[in-house]
Homo-oligomer: A and B are copies of this chain.
């Protein structure tokens, strides 16, 4: 008896997926007149290869790709449909590339948006004659449009969120600390297959399951580029749950990020023990109306700016503009963000001229922070279809007053 190296229930990335994605990358290389790309970062590796084993993916503008893997070769071979070449160490890479591809690359594309300077300088020294260009924005742009296979993975993550929603009534109790309640919810998420690690592309960005905020905790903004942040347990990780005890008649905001097979669904639902104050119920209704408005407008060709401005205008018309998407210095200037392998993908629903395309997937999260009462709002993950949005997070949208 020995260990399986891949969890038997896991879904492997199919060969045609990987090939289609690599074709897209090759098109970018040719358009930008680059000889090759070298892909290193976990999220991008998973996207282009199906594995995140310690690897360097070499993609020539023309010709076959090579996945050079340092550790664990055996596992990369099981996980990825690509041919895997063992790599003894980074220093061996230029020699192996030259051996396989003849000439050394002149112009190379790298993920300069995420690659640390130290790592980059090592590559610069190793590929002596080459010049380097940033492929990050192109990769991010390519990854914004999902395949049918990817949408199914996101649906798998959404299914965890939906099941959690049904379990909350059994988990929520008056007097629990936010941390204690979060632990109960997260334990169920793990049982349902949540993978834990939530990847973000932005430097210094970090996220742990999302934000579970109750009552006035919903008012605490922080370092995050999110409408809600929470107090957190200390200044070291100043976001998320605190040791505040959950009371009756206050909003319990479950802003939860599920991850399954490497793909993310983001959603928010509101629970409470007993009835919520009218001001919060009114704000929730406004959030639902803004959601309806944006969903009604969104379609291929519509810009992010149009959606963002319509939402801001609607919040203003409801006389809730100053508490829409946070308050004061905590207010953020977007109403949604792309999700996929990373939580901070394109499209960002902000003052951006990026137009929606079919099969883009994003979370839309109209939220309000009501002074003295806390936060309230809704969030769903949607896929852009030919004639509008398909919602992937399908839990009921009413307030769950328990």
Residues of A with Cβ closer than 8 Å to B? Answer: 1-13, 40-42, 46, 50-54, 71-75, 79-80, 110, 112-121, 134, 136, 177, 179-180, 182-184, 186-191, 193, 195-197, 199, 203-204, 206, 208-209, 216-223, 231-238, 240-243, 259-263, 329-330, 341, 371-372, 374
Contact = CB atoms under 8 A, between A and B. Distances in A.
A3 B219 contact: yes
Given A188-B183, A204-B42, A329 B72 contact: yes
A234 B116 contact: no
A110 B188 CA distance: 42
Contact of A191 (B177, B231, B242): B177
B197 A53 contact: no
Contacts of A112: 116-118, 121
Contacts of A113: 116-118
A233 B5 CA distance: 10
Given A53-B223, A195-B237, A1 B231 contact: no
Contacts of A114: 116, 118
Nearest to A177: B191
Given A115-B116, A237-B195, A204 B134 contact: no
Number of chain copies forming the complex = 2
A72 to B, nearest CB: 5
Q: Which of A119, A216, A259 is the most central at the interface, judged by chain B CB atoms within 10 Å of its CB?
A: A119
Q: Which of A10, A217, A219 is the most central at the interface, judged by chain B CB atoms within 10 Å of its CB?
A: A10
Nearest to A69: B223
A249 to B, nearest CB: 13
A203 B122 CA distance: 13
A45 B5 CA distance: 38
Contact of A117 (B115, B260, B330): B115
A255 to B, nearest CB: 14
Contact of A233 (B193, B234, B341): B193
A71 B223 contact: yes
Q: Which of A3, A4, A179, A193 is the most central at the interface, judged by chain B CB atoms within 10 Å of its CB?
A: A3
A120 B117 contact: yes
B190 A183 contact: yes
A115 B116 CA distance: 5
B52 A236 contact: yes
Contacts of A117: 110, 112-113, 115-117, 120, 134
